Amino acid sequence: MFLAAIEREDISGTYNATAPSPVDNNQFMRELRGALGRPWAPHTPSWAVHLGGFFMRTEACLALTGRRCLPAKLQKSRFSFRFSDLRPALDEIYRNPEGVLNVHETQAP
């Protein structure tokens, strides 16, 4: 997405940098555990998420409540998503970490 925004003149302004199939944190963690082959993991208490958010200088509410946004402007610009769903993306990351960084697979209109 970021490379397309740099290279393509038709993409400018503010965009939601997200895939077209949003998931909540529970679903994200379920898919992540599946991709890692871990059927179960303990829940992280909210105070620990707040503490981690403080040290990472981010908002804990992004993990605790989330933001269900869609990449409507990217879709209108005919941006080609390599992965529109979470599980195939996670599978690719953990099966082939170097391959995920191949950013030149973005297609211009």
64-86 tens-digit pLDDT:
887 788 999 999 999 989 899 99
Angle at 59 between CA 102 and CA 27, to 5 degrees: 60
**Structural contact between residues 31 and 83, judged by C-beta atoms closer than 8 angstroms:** no
Residue in 4, 29, 22, 17 with CA at minimum distance from that of residue 90: 29
Domain that holds residue 29: 2-105
Number of domains making up the chain: 1
Q: Tell me the pLDDT band of 17, cut-offs 50, 70 and 90.
A: confident
pLDDT of res. 95 = 83
Range in 13-27, 68-82, 91-105 the model is least confident about: 91-105
